[in-house]
Each structure stands twice: as structure tokens, then as C-alpha cells.
A and B are shown apart, each in its own frame.
Chain A
């Protein structure tokens, strides 16, 4: 016992000493900006952009605060509640944005935009959707939208034409049934709906008549019936197994177990690099997202990643300068070069992306969009409603309730929240 205590004491004191090493302070000149973001290892464009910015503004030092993606929102919330003074906050999704705006944690960008006469038209209307009471609090740098990936070999084998850029949801269902083949370990599923709520619900928003916040969700029934029907017939994999197994769509696509995959454009960059690394030799193509009858082809839904200025920042002007660069045309090219879709999507940028090695050139048309709707609209109660939608979605997809019952419970619960 005594020996152990002595060893322990020694260990503790050594560790204490080691930990008391002095922190290196800044040299006093120049500004230090703190940028909060997630997945720094994954976003290859960030280091490139920081390097470029350093050339532009050698007096500004950027400190990265890297947070795991799965816990990003919790961590940022606690930080901001505690009065953290990080300068630039990356906004991950609309519920988070809405909450930060209502909590007055972000600074309006309108003043800077007016002063610099910064041109917002390049963003094709996206900033307008981010306005709250006509005030803009964040500028998008990355804007992903939903497309349809497919495995060419599966289609060749089944003798079915590749999905086209103008395809309705019922056409999509029909070819999904056609390309399904095999059984057991060799089974190739016609398509794949990942466990996210959006893989089903997006199809119900495309016509623009409804959004995720509604007083009556019965409009979702047709798409839910289609997807649950496909699930019952084994055209797509069972939701419950995917969810419980944490099964990721990428592995299934690399292993050629699925013929089609409705998914966001974020997967393009990953797919290209995995093919290059030799992880998979899947021959892939992309097409525009399927759409409901009577809706223009190229209508899809999207998500944004934006930068915003923390209301508690002490270097707001410098922060704005950085945001202007990161979200602007120069930043956009770097993003596209890394295989990601920037918020500014002019021809230049698309060319940079589609001319990258490994991009299926004949499919560049799939990246042309006519309307991109936000997955979730701005609303002060959007996160609470999203929670309800997710819960009921889970119940419908696991076959715990019927489609109609699930949707009516969704309606009832959302109305309760809205009326409060």
C-alpha cells in the first residue's frame, strides 16, 4: 500500500508539473480570429483557404476550434451561453441558426454588406431564405442539394436505362423495382433511403405548396406509402436494420449493394476520393433529384453551411473581412476544387468541379438546378417541430404505426407546439 501511494504521489506531482507549462501568448501585433467549425480533417478546403487568406492578410491569425460534428450544436450552444467570444461561428443547420438568432447571439451582416456594397446576387437568392424579419445574420459558403447517385453496372446488368435528369417519383419507383436483383448476400437493392427523415419527406416539399412546418401533414402520405411499399417488397433495405446497425449509405454504395442512392451533393467529393484511393471501383453516375408530377425538373432541396459573427466578438470588422473572402467567389473556387459545392454556383465554379479527375463528365447536367428549397424553413420553433417529425418518421418507418396514423399524430403534436 505504501509503495503504491508513493508511486501515485510521484506520478501526480510529475503530471501537475507537466501541466503547468506556460501557455504561449500572442506577440501583441495583429489580430487573432477564432473560427468555430466541425470536421476539420474532412473539409480539405479549409486549410487551403486559410493558407490563401494568410497571403492576403498576413497580420491576421486564424485559430481553429474544431468540434466533433455529432456534438457540434450542443457544444456551440453551451459555449455561447457561457459568453464565449469566438469571432466566427459556422452555422450547421437551420434549427441552430434560428435558435442563435432568437437568442441574439449573432450580429447582423446587413451593415457590412451595405458599407462594402457586397454583391449578394451571386448567391442566387439563398440569403433571402436566411433573413429573419428581413435581417441577415449569416452568409453561406457551402450549399449542398439532393441528387440521385447510381451504380452504372447494376443498370447495365439489368438492361435498364440510366436514370434521367427529368424523372418523376413514380418513374423512380418503377426503375428501382426493375434493377432489384439477387438474394441473400448477393442481393442488389433497387434504391436506398438512408434513415434520415429528409430522404422521404423532401419529396413532399418539392412542389412548394408545403414545408416541414404545417398544420396538416396528410400531404406526405403518397411519398410515405411509396417508400414503405418499397421497403415491404425488399426494393430498399429495411429501415429498422439500417437504424439499429448504424449502417452508412456509403459502404453499401461502395460495395455495390444498392443500384440508386438519393443523397446530397456532399457525397460527390467523398466518392471521388474513395475511388481514387482504391477503396471501391464502383462506376457511378449522377442524375437530378426525382420530382413529383407537374413540378419542373431540377427542383430539389438543399442544406447550407454558413458563417456568422458572434455578437460577443471583439474583432467584428476583421471577422467580416474573413467571411467575405471565405464565402465569396475566391472561396467558392477552392471549395469546388476540393469537390464540394459552394454557395456561389456560377459556371466557373461548376466547371472547376466537373473537370476534376474522377467526376463523371457526362453527368454535369445533374448539378443544374431550377429551384433549391431549404430542407427546413426558418421558424422560431423549428427545432422542437423537427424533433416531433423525426420521432413520428421513425415510428412509421419501423412499421410501429400505419402511415395515416403516424401522420395524424404528427399533425396533432405539431399543432400543439404551434398553438403554445
Chain B
């Protein structure tokens, strides 16, 4: 009976709204592709510039397809700066910081969202408050401290600096809040302690939040420029973003190389995005919890 009704429903639906559907789909596609073009256009410009001679990058009128393709630009970026080493450093920093960030902030967020302790609100306000302070303001005191610890010009300095940012705690806390307390209470009655609850219930449920925190932290560290600028001085610890700046000299700038290097450095992050996409989009649908 139920099945029959459903089938009929679908048939009716198809007949009455197929035209409307087609129209709707076309509209969506039109809007999305127009939008995509705007999104992509600057990258096409970068791509085109990366194949040009330096002197032609800003030449007017602009040509989208260069007269001759300077493939050599993509070779030059590896030779003019130690791009491979810089990439390795960047990957290393991004992975370690992201990992620590995920671990510690989801841990702390659980306490903020689901456990009661004295000073919780005040502490949380401290966390939120520091998000509101621009880094440029306290980077000098921070640098002086790091120097006293003898950590400047090491990767450890940046790792310590960026692995415990309050943003991660905030993001995870907001997500945990939407997980019903009844679920945890039931688990407590079943005899699970808080650590078990965290590992067995919260972590598996928070895949989407973890995925989006991963993306956020990874992209931040990947593209961070001021941090590495302030803390890293020798070439063996420098990152891609610092390398990009080496193409801008006092009286000249190699924008074709900057574009080439920027495009190359985009690839790993995009791969990460594609790999994680299913987590923050599909992971939650089954749990019925949202962030």
C-alpha cells in the first residue's frame, strides 16, 4: 500500500513538473557557471601571466594567450629560489600545526561545551577575546619571548605559536554544542568515562567540524607570510610565501615567476580540499547533527 502510493506520487510529480524542473536546472547551471567564471577568471589571468616574459606581464593591451609560452618560468622557480626545500618546510609546518591544532582544540572544546567547571565562562571569554586582537599588535612581545627561549629561526617557534590558536577551540565548541546532551548522558549511564565518551562518541561525530578546521588551519599556515617573515631568517627554514617575496626585489619584481610559483603552491591545498570534501559535506547527514 505504502509502496504503491509512493510510486504514484513520483509519477505525478514527474509529469507535472518536468518542464519546471528543466527550467530550474538550467537557471541553476546558468547562475553557477557565471559565478564560476568570476571565480576562475583571476586564475586564468595568473596562468596566462605565468607563461609570459616578465616585461610583458602588464603590457597593454592585455593578451590572454601569450605569443610564446615561457615554459622556462616553471623551471626558473625551482632554480632561483630553493623552492623544493621551501615547499617541504611549508608542508611540514602545515601538517604538524594542523595536527596539533585538531588534537588540542577538540580536546579543550569538549570541556568548554560539555563539562562544567569553575571559571568556564571567564576562560572562554579569554579565548574569544584573544581572537579579537590582531596579531600585529602582540607580535613584538611574542617575538621577544621566543628569542629568550632561544627558539627564533626554528620551526618549533611557529609551531608553538600557531598550534594552540583559540579559533580552533571556538569552532569545535560551537559544533559540540549542537550534539544533544542526552546522547552523552546515556553513555555515562552505560559506564563510559569522559575520555571514552570523547573518543568513542564525540570524535566520530565531529568529522565535519574536524575537516573544516583542518582546511582552515592548513590554508592559514600554508599562506601565512608575516609569521615566517618575523621568525625565520635562514634559508633552510623558510617557507613558500617567503620565497614568493624573494621575487619582489627593491627595484624590480618578477611577477611571471610569482604567478607560476603561486599556482604550483595551490595544488597541494586543492588536493587536500578534494580529499576532505566528502567529510564536511556528507559525513553529518547520517548523524543528524549539524554545525
Tell me, yes or no, whether A and B come into direct contact in the complex with CB atoms closer than 8 A: yes
- Within the assembled complex, what's the spacing in Å between the Cα atoms of A1 and B92? 21
- Within the assembled complex, what's the spacing in Å between the Cα atoms of A9 and B102? 12
Q: How far does the Cβ of A149 sit from chain B's closest Cβ, in whole Å?
A: 13
Tell me if B55 and A254 are in contact (CB < 8 A). Answer: yes
Tell me if B58 and A248 are in contact (CB < 8 A). Answer: yes
Tell me if B143 and A70 are in contact (CB < 8 A). Answer: no
Secondary structure at the B interface, as helix, strand, loop or mixed, is helix
Tell me if B55 and A279 are in contact (CB < 8 A). Answer: yes
Does any Cβ of A come within 8 Å of B123's Cβ? no
Binary per-residue interface labels of chain A (251-277) against chain B in the complex, 1 for a CB within 8 Å, 0 otherwise: 100110000000010110010000000
Does any Cβ of B come within 8 Å of A38's Cβ? yes
Tell me if B143 and A264 are in contact (CB < 8 A). Answer: no
Tell me if B230 and A270 are in contact (CB < 8 A). Answer: no
- Within the assembled complex, what's the spacing in Å between the Cα atoms of A67 and B249? 10
Tell me if A38 and B250 are in contact (CB < 8 A). Answer: yes
> What size tier do the contact residues of chain A reach?
35 or more
Does any Cβ of B come within 8 Å of A419's Cβ? no
The closest CB in chain A to the CB of B89 belongs to A19
Does any Cβ of A come within 8 Å of B240's Cβ? no
The closest CB in chain B to the CB of A66 belongs to B235
Tell me if B144 and A18 are in contact (CB < 8 A). Answer: no
Binary per-residue interface labels of chain A (48-77) against chain B in the complex, 1 for a CB within 8 Å, 0 otherwise: 000000000000000001111111001100
Q: Given A68-B246, A71-B229, A82-B140, are A255 and B59 also a contact pair (CB < 8 Å)? A: yes
Tell me if B144 and A251 are in contact (CB < 8 A). Answer: no
Does any Cβ of B come within 8 Å of A26's Cβ? no
Does any Cβ of B come within 8 Å of A185's Cβ? yes
B249: chain A residues at CB < 8 Å are: 38-39, 41-42, 69
A370: chain B residues at CB < 8 Å are: none
Does any Cβ of B come within 8 Å of A321's Cβ? no
A82: chain B residues at CB < 8 Å are: 140, 143-144, 146-147, 152
Does any Cβ of A come within 8 Å of B14's Cβ? no
> What size tier do the contact residues of chain B reach?
35 or more
Which one of B34-42, B126-134, B172-180, B251-259 contacts A?
Answer: B251-259
A250: chain B residues at CB < 8 Å are: 55, 252
Q: Which of A81, A266, A280 contacts B144 (CB 8 A)?
A: A81
Does any Cβ of B come within 8 Å of A11's Cβ? yes
Q: Given A69-B248, A78-B140, are A1 and B234 also a contact pair (CB < 8 Å)? A: no
Tell me if B95 and A12 are in contact (CB < 8 A). Answer: yes
- Within the assembled complex, what's the spacing in Å between the Cα atoms of A74 and B136? 11
Binary per-residue interface labels of chain A (367-391) against chain B in the complex, 1 for a CB within 8 Å, 0 otherwise: 0000000000000000000000000
Q: Given A1-B204, A68-B248, A251-B56, are A185 and B61 also a contact pair (CB < 8 Å)? A: yes
Q: Given A65-B234, A68-B245, are A78 and B143 also a contact pair (CB < 8 Å)? A: yes
A245: chain B residues at CB < 8 Å are: 58
Tell me if B246 and A41 are in contact (CB < 8 A). Answer: yes
- Within the assembled complex, what's the spacing in Å between the Cα atoms of A8 and B146? 28
Interface residues of A in 229-252 (CB under 8 A from B): 245-248, 250-251
B251: chain A residues at CB < 8 Å are: 264, 266-267, 270
A183: chain B residues at CB < 8 Å are: none
Does any Cβ of B come within 8 Å of A83's Cβ? yes
A18: chain B residues at CB < 8 Å are: 92
B260: chain A residues at CB < 8 Å are: none
Q: Given A71-B229, A81-B144, are A15 and B95 also a contact pair (CB < 8 Å)? A: yes
- Within the assembled complex, what's the spacing in Å between the Cα atoms of A255 and B54? 11
B53: chain A residues at CB < 8 Å are: 279
Q: Which of B57, B147, B207, B246 contacts A1 (CB 8 A)?
A: B207
The 8 closest A-B pairs by CB, nearest first: A68-B245, A69-B250, A251-B55, A254-B55, A82-B147, A15-B92, A247-B58, A39-B249
